[in-house]
Structure 1
Amino acid sequence: MLREWQHDGASVPLHPGDLGWYWRFGAEATAKAVRIWRRDGRIRALGLLDGSGLARLGIAPGAAGDEDLARRLAADVSQPERGVLPQGTASVEARWRGVFHELLLDGGWELSKPWTPLVRDLAEPVADCGVRIETTGPEQASVRAAVQRAAFSRSTFTSERWHAMTTGPPYADARCLIAYDDHGVAVATATVWSAGAGRPGLLEPMGVHRDHRGHGYGRAITVASAAALRELGSSSATVCTATANVGGVATYRSAGFRPLPDVRDLRRNA
């Protein structure tokens, strides 16, 4: 269902890969983190509670203008007793515009810091990235996890979580990549998620080992990710990073990604 909602031209909506990456915490935790909104018997919106205070929302094509659905969504994320977001500080990621945004802003929510979505069209072949790239299998899980932790200081990723992630249905159309330098040292990693042939694929996450930055490995693994998504049949590769992450935006642009207009989450302060 969420796969069918993906289409080129959208500003990096909630993607099957977002659920796939969350699956590192296990199937039960992922199920508990998902919220579903139905209308007339059909699923029209879906949410992922990514942490205790963030709801990441996706909406079915054509449903953004449904005012009744917008009011229900706004009430559900605004009232803690409805079980979506807790009392106090909270954020909502909703990459469409319309009544839902207006209702939250009128209710005291504020726009938070901007994010920059980027996209690379995959109609044409992707050039070689210039470094050795390997697809992670069970035997490389500990290497994949170690590079992730070295790239993100707060990461808790482990080989056990890699194995949990790969058992999820979204990973059937995904790949974990590792980049190696000329000495055979793992220097960067990324995971790519396909939503099926002819639909946009997602790059999430991408990171370069803290000891190997400044050598172009971020660009290389990003180019390799675009190539992997093309092999999986994706029409485009998408990614989103904080606009303040100037280096990250520059890396994606150097890898052939085109920035789209900035987007902002909605935030409610305690």
Structure 2
Amino acid sequence: MAIIVEKPGVDGLVEAVAALRDWQSEGVAWQLHPGDLGWFWRSGAEATAAAVRIWRRDGRILAVGLLDGADLLRVTTAPDVRRDEELARRLADDVIAPERGVLPAGKVSVEAPKDALLQDLLPGHGWQVDEEPWTPLNRDLSEPVKAPDLRIETIGPDKAAVWADVIGAAFDGSTFTAGKWQAMAAGTPYADGRCLLGYDDHGDAIAAVAVWSAGPGKPGILEPMGVHRDHRGHGHGKAITLAAAAALQELGSSSAALGTPSSNVAAVETYKSGGFRAQPEVWDLTRG
């Protein structure tokens, strides 16, 4: 049967998350994680469903994509079909043609695993490597994680506003609110997620992070992590990163991973100080 692409609807999101969860494993190229859908869920279930695309063949999910904004498609595939020519050509056709409804006309980007055949096909259709590289970072969790020099709390709904305030003060232009935390926490991926707050000696919340497991023995991710702008330069980024790694270890994750723009040198160094190792840079593909 031919490969079809579909919008899953709210009910179908559970299936998409399950597929992404199943595909995570050590030693495979950086790919879309169920936690990425979990963080997007802050906009609500309906908005998340509208941003997700699923490619199937004979009923089986082969690929899942997330429209992370109007001009970026983050897509990954089941590990065994990364070089499947039929799938790669269908993906390429869908992202090239605006009338397919996957990406709009104009300047757009695609993030895909570096070993996916899609990476080889798009440059032949006017796509090029983006100028801005990303640095994936990874920390093995087979050994105990050193306790951070910071009081850490795993929060619930009662601290949603505090967590939102710290995230808002960590990222310029952030629109995150307690309501968005509630929406995120209601999402399917948050069953494997945790939100942490770090407090200074005065009892002020000064750092926040969300961690997302994909199940025992699988890589987990950090998304997002931030330190309040008024409390930077004191090692709090390293401390909350260590806390995130410890939380993922408690959830059974085999490793902790994340990606950040290579140009954000301070962030890369912060993660390194928390025991993360930088992996080879990756680039999106862009058109326009």
Which residue identity does 1:28 align to in structure 2? E
> Which residue of the partner structure matches residue 174 of structure 1?
193
Unaligned ranges ≥5, structure 2 = 1-18
Distance 1:207 1:78 in 2: 35
> Which residue of the partner structure matches residue 62 of structure 1?
80
3-state secondary structure, aligned to 2:80: coil
Residue pair 2:114, 2:282 contacting (<8 A) in 1 also: no
> Which residue of the partner structure matches residue 37 of structure 2?
19
What's the CA shift for 1:78?
Answer: 0.9
> Which residue of the partner structure matches residue 247 of structure 1?
266
How many percent identity over aligned positions? 62
- TM-score normalised according to structure 1 size: 0.98
Cα RMSD (Å) of the superposition? 0.9
Aligned pairs, how many?
269
What's the CA shift for 1:98?
Answer: 4.3
What's the CA shift for 1:58?
Answer: 1.2
Structure with the larger RCO, 1 or 2 (CA within 8 Å, 6+ apart): 1
Distance 1:72 1:117 in 2: 27
3-state secondary structure, aligned to 1:77: helix
What's the CA shift for 1:119?
Answer: 0.5
Residue pair 1:64, 1:96 contacting (<8 A) in 2 also: no
> Which residue of the partner structure matches residue 185 of structure 1?
204
> Which residue of the partner structure matches residue 14 of structure 2?
none
Deviation string 1:223-252 (CA, Å, 9 cap, x unpaired) is: 000000000000000011011111111011
Distance 1:7 1:230 in 2: 15
Name the stretch that deviates more: 134-143 or 218-227.
134-143
Distance 1:14 1:33 in 2: 14
Distance 1:98 1:11, change over 3 A: closer
Counterpart among 141, 164, 168 of residue 145 in structure 1: 164
> Which residue of the partner structure matches residue 222 of structure 1?
241
Distance 1:197 1:99 in 2: 29
- TM-score normalised according to structure 2 size: 0.92
What's the CA shift for 1:10?
Answer: 2.5
Residue pair 1:55, 1:92 contacting (<8 A) in 2 also: yes
Unaligned ranges ≥5, structure 1 = none
